[in-house]
A and B are shown apart, each in its own frame.
Chain A
Amino acid sequence: ETGVTQTPRHLVMGMTNKKSLKCEQHLGHNAMYWYKQSAKKPLELMFVYNFKEQTENNSVPSRFSPECPNSSHLFLHLHTLQPEDSALYLCASSSTSGYYNEQFFGPGTRLTVL
């Protein structure tokens, strides 16, 4: 595997379910990100992890719970979601050691909440 991978690619869940999204990066990066992409809205940064430490939480509801056990893996735990949480969830990674650090994105998980 190369780059940034995300599983599952598609997920349908009820409002009472608990599920997790997984992201893995094979690029040796130390920073990882969760974004939410909804139709007709700008890309929303949700969480940032740098060297496994959460450095950003952009007022995300507590029904989204991130976990970063190491610099290569990032999870997003979901529970009691709402239909408006249906979106494409994108994971990204980057290095932070240089000055110009582009982010590399995974293919996303398409989440539908019924």
Chain B
Amino acid sequence: GNSVTQMEGPVTLSEEAFLTINCTYTATGYPSLFWYVQYPGEGLQLLLKATKADDKGSNKGFEATYRKETTSFHLEKGSVQVSDSAVYFCALSHSNTGNQFYFGTGTSLTVIP
């Protein structure tokens, strides 16, 4: 079946550090892949997405590349800010399951000044 595995948190970084949050998936064929972000006290917001192999999603300095060969969609940012402190969720959807979403467990990021 479809599933997503992402690295356990919490992650604590200093401001301007490099961020990587690992995400791997299990699915047949070509799912669509997403990163969502949840700021404290809010719902989930779409951060970026990629819909086919080798696509790179990017937004607000974050990037993730859809790697079919490693079934991965790792989230990266070159220089994090305090305002990036949030919980990040990797997710996939697939047309073979009616576009139902499968979310990872979430990775909490805290950026300290």
Q: Are B46 and A43 within 8 A (Cβ)?
A: no
A42 to B45, CA, bound (A): 16
A113 to B97, CA, bound (A): 33
Q: Are A43 and B42 within 8 A (Cβ)?
A: no
**Best-surrounded residue of A42, A104, A106 (most CB of chain B within 10 A):** A42
The reply to whether the CB of B113 lies closer than 8 angstroms to some CB of chain A is: no
Q: Are B44 and A101 within 8 A (Cβ)?
A: no
Chain B residue with minimal CB distance to A95?
B99
Contacting residue for A100 out of B36, B51, B104, B106, CB 8 A = B51
Chain A residue with minimal CB distance to B102?
A45
A48 to B93, CA, bound (A): 14
B19 to chain A, nearest CB (A): 22
Q: Are A107 and B51 within 8 A (Cβ)?
A: no
Q: Are A101 and B105 within 8 A (Cβ)?
A: no
B61 to chain A, nearest CB (A): 20
A81 to chain B, nearest CB (A): 21
Please indicate the chain B residues that have their CB under 8 angstroms from the CB of A45 in the complex.
Answer: 100-101
The reply to whether the CB of B103 lies closer than 8 angstroms to some CB of chain A is: yes
**Best-surrounded residue of B34, B44, B89, B105 (most CB of chain A within 10 A):** B44
Please indicate the chain A residues that have their CB under 8 angstroms from the CB of B104 in the complex.
Answer: 42
The reply to whether the CB of A103 lies closer than 8 angstroms to some CB of chain B is: yes
Q: Are B46 and A104 within 8 A (Cβ)?
A: yes
- The total of chain B residues at the interface (CB under 8 A) is 22
The reply to whether the CB of B43 lies closer than 8 angstroms to some CB of chain A is: yes
Please indicate the chain A residues that have their CB under 8 angstroms from the CB of B100 in the complex.
Answer: 45, 48, 56
The reply to whether the CB of A108 lies closer than 8 angstroms to some CB of chain B is: yes
Q: B-facing mask of A79-114, CB < 8 A → 1, else 0?
A: 000000000001010101001111111111000000
Chain B residue with minimal CB distance to A101?
B99
Q: Which B33-56 residues sit within 8 Å CB-CB of chain A?
A: 34, 36, 41-46, 49, 51
The reply to whether the CB of A55 lies closer than 8 angstroms to some CB of chain B is: yes
Q: A43-B89, A100-B32 are in contact. Are A55 and B43 (CB under 8 A)?
A: no
The reply to whether the CB of B98 lies closer than 8 angstroms to some CB of chain A is: yes
Q: Which residues of B contact A (CB under 8 A)?
A: 32, 34, 36, 41-46, 49, 51, 89, 93, 95, 98-101, 103-106
